[in-house]
Amino acid sequence: MPSQLSVDYTKCTGCRICELACSAKNEGKFQPALARLKIVKYDDLGVDIPNVCGPCEEAPCVDVCPVYAMVRDPVSKMTYVNQDKCILCKSCVGVCVNGVIVLDTVRMRILKCDHCGGDPECAKACPTGAIRYASVGRIGLMGRHGKVTAYLREIRRVVTGH
Amino acid sequence: MKSNGYAGRILRVDLTDERIWTESLPREWIRDFIGGDGFAARVLYEEVGHDVDSLSPQNRLIVATGPVTGTLWPMSGRTVFVSKAAQTGIWGESHVGGFMGPELKYAGYDMLVVSGKAESPVVISILDDDADLLPADNLWGMTTAEVTAAIKKSRRDPDVQVAAVGPAGERLVRFASVIVNNARAAGRTGMGAVLGSKKVKAIAVRGHGAVEVARHDEFVQLATEAHMRVRSNPQAQQMHRWGTWILTAVKQSIGELPTYNHRTGVFDGWESLSGDHIRPRYTVSDRACFGCSLGCKKMNYVPDGPFAGTLEEGPEYEGLMAFGSSLGIADFATTLKANQICNRTGMDAISAGTTLSFAFEAFEQGLIDEKTTGGLRLQWGDGSAAVQLLEMIARREGLGDVLAEGTRRAAQRIGKGTEKLAIHVKGLEVSGQDGRTHRSIALSHATGARGADHLRSLVTVDQLGYREVAAKRWGADRLPEIIDPYTEKYKAAAVVETENTYCIRDTLIVCWYSVAWPPIFWIEDFARVLPLVTGIEQLGSVKELVRIAERQVTLKRLFNAREGIRREDDRLPDRFTKEPMPDGPGKGQLVNLDPMLDDYYRHRGWDVSTGLPTPETLRRLSLDWTARFA
């Protein structure tokens, strides 16, 4: 099963280290505006939600692309932009439901997550494990394991008092 | 071209002439001051003289960032607000977490300097190269949460960062704060009142640019290692889970939890204010500021009781102390509500809480009565009275109008000997420490440039008994006195060294928690990272960093000296020097300040009798230029 980026927003603290790490790796500078993922923050509610790129079941960015520059890997179902074909119509930017396809207005190109070629920087940089990169089955297992260890830790805290 | 950690531009806003322009950042400032606090001190010293009242148009409000702001360096999301303080009339600075500083950097500015006064309320709006003054009559009167939401909505951009003042700032409450990201407060010294006096309701910033460093790959590697150090540090892990609430238990155990207006250091109801009690009952999510692996912020919700439905970030330890133990209130929900009022109306939790406890003690001693309080009975532990009085302060209503001036001015106004209940240094209320059980903080409180200050130097090594760290830093021959919290000996050396390190921290700018408690980074770490960011090899020398720190401390001292601050102002409230600690582990302890002050001035190269920097010190630190503005 191909690996995917998955998020657990209950663990996200909204620190935006992922955005920094993404732009540092892909652009060689710190520029969250050019990050291929986005933390959506709700300060009033105390909720932070990482928006990462696919794979979506339906891929509107592929469907909408008029020149077939957006292509989909049949196995991983990830989509990739072919910069040579792209005519910068920005249709994919507008249609992406996650808002993670970005237009670099300085160098005029479409920026889209490619999972850093199989070793995504955002997942490595995330301090709380809110963003993970693994096959979905494994992520479920790790989630359950995490819950059990947290539960055991809680019992120990209650029993021993610290 | 790489920007080497700096945007290279200063944004200037003159509200009186409605003029906005940019200036380029002088290169020599980087060499002499690095950034943050240092840049702001340079500007403030030059432009805000003795004749300027803090609430007049001539005062400046500076928002500054440092070379690592906006980068991957851990906890680099800090911003500093600097001005002549509304509360004390001397050097004022207030650091804040959140996301404001990085956004200003991404918009392309190292700092923002606001001068003048608008005719009617405005919002300073910054969107990359476009900076503008927008009319804000419709926003005037709103709480900080309302104005933040309104600006995000009208700009159709949820990522706009808003620094707002609330109703307290508009009414010039002396300890009004500036609130960024709804609940992160640039709290101390009254920055909100300065903005309010200029009729600025908010500063809204959005940037899409980049911060680049001199040696990107090496920097990213070092920053990644630094993040790992934060994550693997056991105290940092505790801090992520419990926030600063773990301090409540620590403070109680060493007898330094300010209780009943700093009268004593132990509080019977401390358990209701500790992390073990709070987290399972109230905490709904963990949050962090920009670029922070530690994540000490907690979102809390009160499910039942009189304050049911309160949803707010915080309070931190200081808020727990100020609205909890200091008022004899053993109820977290009350402190959360009080903290929310402070956030929404824009007031400093420490000063507000201490001012309340001043009023409570005055009431207890019969120096004020129900006629003065408008019928409120101010009795220790009465949360509802505290909350009512707090709201009265924000509205400047009745007794609240007097208390809105801070404890020093309020005591002068009330008279009747209430001065001895006003727990402040140079007009700034004392934070949640006690010099009697922790002598190095006594010295820090007395000498801090902005008054009773726990953030410019707080030696934790002595208090928590880190022997090895102390031996390494100050020499084994100074043990055990230097880490004995109950002696004055060698404390000045520890305070000076810590103050210097914190100074560099405040030029970078990074978070307090990365250096203090837990102490993850120290000045050597900053010396390693600075050359990678700035490309200036000179900044890789600890000796040079210490010189820069000394320069900065001395420059702030010169600013204060121009306002008339001398050795006799570096004093503590009588409570710490004349009333021995009545109970707890530190029972019987008192501060003997003078020997520590002598030592401190000698270390700093200041005159021991006056507390003023000597001409030799000024020459050594290349501060001769200050004479032109004396």
pLDDT digits over B411-443, tens only? Answer: 999 999 999 999 999 999 999 999 999 999 999
Q: Evaluate if residue A148 carries a pLDDT over 90.
A: no
Closest CA of chain A from B216, distance in Å:
7
Beta partners for residue B111, in sequence order:
B10, B64
- Show residues of chain A in contact with B212, CB under 8 Å: 28-30
Q: Evaluate if residue B188 carries a pLDDT over 80.
A: yes
Chain B within 8 Å of A46 (Cβ-Cβ)?
Answer: yes
Instruction: Report the residue from B145, B149, B289 with minimal CB separation from A15.
Output: B289
Nearest CA in chain A to B275: A162
Structure tokens at B54: 């803090």
Nearest CA in chain A to B344: A44
Structure tokens at B600: 């401190």
Three-class DSSP labels, B318-363: HHHHHHCHHHCCCCHHHHHHHHHHHHHHCECHHHHHHHHHHHHHHH
CA atoms in the 13 A half-sphere facing the CB of B356: 39
Parallel, antiparallel, or unpaired for β B122-127 and B130-135? antiparallel
Chain A within 8 Å of B474 (Cβ-Cβ)?
Answer: no
Q: Evaluate if residue A158 carries a pLDDT over 80.
A: no
User: What's the rounded Cα separation, in Å, for the pair B401 and B192?
Assistant: 16
Count Cβ atoms below 10 Å from residue B609 Cβ, excluding itself: 10
Parallel, antiparallel, or unpaired for β A4-7 and A131-134? antiparallel
- pLDDT value for B90: 96
Closest C-alpha among B529, B226, B216 to residue A30? B216
- Give which of A43, A103, A158, A160 to mutate to test B binding, by max B Cβ within 10 Å: A43
Which residue type does A31 have?
Q
- Show residues of chain A in contact with B287, CB under 8 Å: 13-14, 46, 48
What are the contacts of B370-374 at 24+ separation with CB within 8 A?
B372/B399, B372/B414, B373/B398, B373/B399, B374/B398, B374/B399
Helix axes B593-604, B542-562, angle to 10 degrees: 120
Chain A within 8 Å of B99 (Cβ-Cβ)?
Answer: yes
Beta sheet of B297-301, edge-to-edge order: B283-287, B297-301, B311-313
Contact B291 A13 (CB under 8 A): no
- Show residues of chain B in contact with A127, CB under 8 Å: 227, 230-231, 288, 293, 295
Instruction: Report the residue from A24, A46, A105 with minimal CB separation from B220.
Output: A24
Chain B within 8 Å of A39 (Cβ-Cβ)?
Answer: no
Q: Are A62 and A76 in contact (CB under 8 A)?
A: no
Chain A within 8 Å of B1 (Cβ-Cβ)?
Answer: no
- pLDDT value for A161: 61
- Give which of A15, A105, A111, A158 to mutate to test B binding, by max B Cβ within 10 Å: A15
- Give which of B278, B290, B300, B514 to mutate to test A binding, by max A Cβ within 10 Å: B290
**What is the secondary structure of B528-596 as a DSSP string?**
HHHHHHH--GGGG-HHHHHHHHHHHHHHHHHHHHHTT--GGGS---HHHHTS---SSTTTT----HHHH
- pLDDT for A16-74, tens place per residue? 999 999 999 999 999 999 999 999 999 988 899 999 997 888 899 999 999 999 999 88
Q: Calculate mean pLDDT across residues B301-315.
A: 92
Q: Calculate mean pLDDT across residues B615-628.
A: 94
Chain A within 8 Å of B346 (Cβ-Cβ)?
Answer: no
Q: Are B260 and B378 in contact (CB under 8 A)?
A: no
Size of interface A-B (CB pairs under 8 A): 91
Phi, psi of A38 (to 5 degrees): -150, 130
CB interface of B with A, residues 227-246, below 8 Å: 227, 230-231
- pLDDT for B126-160, tens place per residue? 999 999 999 999 999 999 999 999 999 999 999 99
B484 CB-near residues (< 8 Å, 6+ apart): B462
- Give which of A11, A26, A30 to mutate to test B binding, by max B Cβ within 10 Å: A30
- pLDDT value for B198: 97
- pLDDT for B217-235, tens place per residue? 999 999 999 999 999 998 8
Phi, psi of B456 (to 5 degrees): -85, -20
- Show residues of chain B in contact with A28, CB under 8 Å: 212, 216
Which of B171-180, B208-217, B258-267, B482-491 has the least mean pLDDT? B482-491
Structure tokens at B105: 């950097």
Task: Quote the ipTM score.
Answer: 0.93
Q: Give pTM, 2 decimals.
A: 0.94
- Show residues of chain B in contact with A48, CB under 8 Å: 287
- Show residues of chain B in contact with A14, CB under 8 Å: 287-288
Which of A48-52, B212-216, B482-486 has the least mean pLDDT? B482-486
* Gyration radius of chain A over CA positions: 18
CA–CA–CA angle B293, B297, B200 (5° rounding) = 110
Q: Calculate mean pLDDT across residues B586-603.
A: 95
Instruction: Report the residue from A30, A31, A127 with minimal CB separation from B293.
Output: A127
User: What's the rounded Cα separation, in Å, for the pair B120 and B118?
Assistant: 5
Q: Evaluate if residue B526 carries a pLDDT over 80.
A: yes
Place of tokens 């009729």: B199
Q: Evaluate if residue B619 carries a pLDDT over 80.
A: yes
- pLDDT confidence band for B567 (50 / 70 / 90): very high
- pLDDT for B353-408, tens place per residue? 999 999 999 999 999 999 999 999 999 999 999 999 999 999 999 999 999 999 99
Parallel, antiparallel, or unpaired for β B283-287 and B200-206? unpaired
Contact B210 A105 (CB under 8 A): no
- pLDDT value for B254: 92
Q: Are B241 and A11 in contact (CB under 8 A)?
A: no
User: What's the rounded Cα separation, in Å, for the pair B487 and B481?
Assistant: 7
Q: Evaluate if residue A111 carries a pLDDT over 60.
A: yes
**What is the secondary structure of A81-139 as a DSSP string?**
E-TTT-----HHHHH-TT---EEETTTTEEE---GGGTS-HHHHH-SSS-EEEE-HHHH
Contact B145 A10 (CB under 8 A): no
3-state secondary structure of A4: strand
- Number of helices (H), then strands (E), belonging to chain B: the values are 26, 17
Chain Cα centroid distance, residue B249: 23
Structure tokens at B485: 């919290």
Phi, psi of B235 (to 5 degrees): -70, -35
Contact B287 A14 (CB under 8 A): yes
Structure tokens at A107: 């160098």
- pLDDT value for A162: 55
- pLDDT value for B437: 93
Instruction: Report the residue from B158, B159, B209 with minimal CB separation from A31.
Output: B209
3-state secondary structure of B510: coil
State the average pLDDT for chain B: 94
Q: Are B483 and B465 in contact (CB under 8 A)?
A: yes
- Show residues of chain B in contact with A45, CB under 8 Å: 299, 311
* Gyration radius of chain B over CA positions: 23
3-state secondary structure of B466: coil
Q: Calculate mean pLDDT across residues B487-500.
A: 93
- Show residues of chain B in contact with A13, CB under 8 Å: 286-288, 292, 295, 297
- pLDDT for B76-134, tens place per residue? 999 999 999 999 999 999 999 999 999 999 999 999 999 999 999 999 999 999 999 99
Q: Are B52 and B117 in contact (CB under 8 A)?
A: no
Closest C-alpha among B510, B477, B351, B487 to residue B423? B351
Structure tokens at B604: 């700093």
3-state secondary structure of B408: helix
- pLDDT value for B43: 96
State the average pLDDT for chain A: 89
**H helix or E strand, kind and range, residue B83:** strand B79-84
CB interface of A with B, residues 96-115, below 8 Å: 105
Q: Are B470 and B440 in contact (CB under 8 A)?
A: no
- pLDDT confidence band for B518 (50 / 70 / 90): low
Chain A within 8 Å of B299 (Cβ-Cβ)?
Answer: yes
Chain B within 8 Å of A160 (Cβ-Cβ)?
Answer: no
User: What's the rounded Cα separation, in Å, for the pair B184 and B161?
Assistant: 12
Structure tokens at B614: 């000597």
Residue B551: C-alpha distances to residues A85, B62, B486, B618 (Å): 57, 19, 30, 8
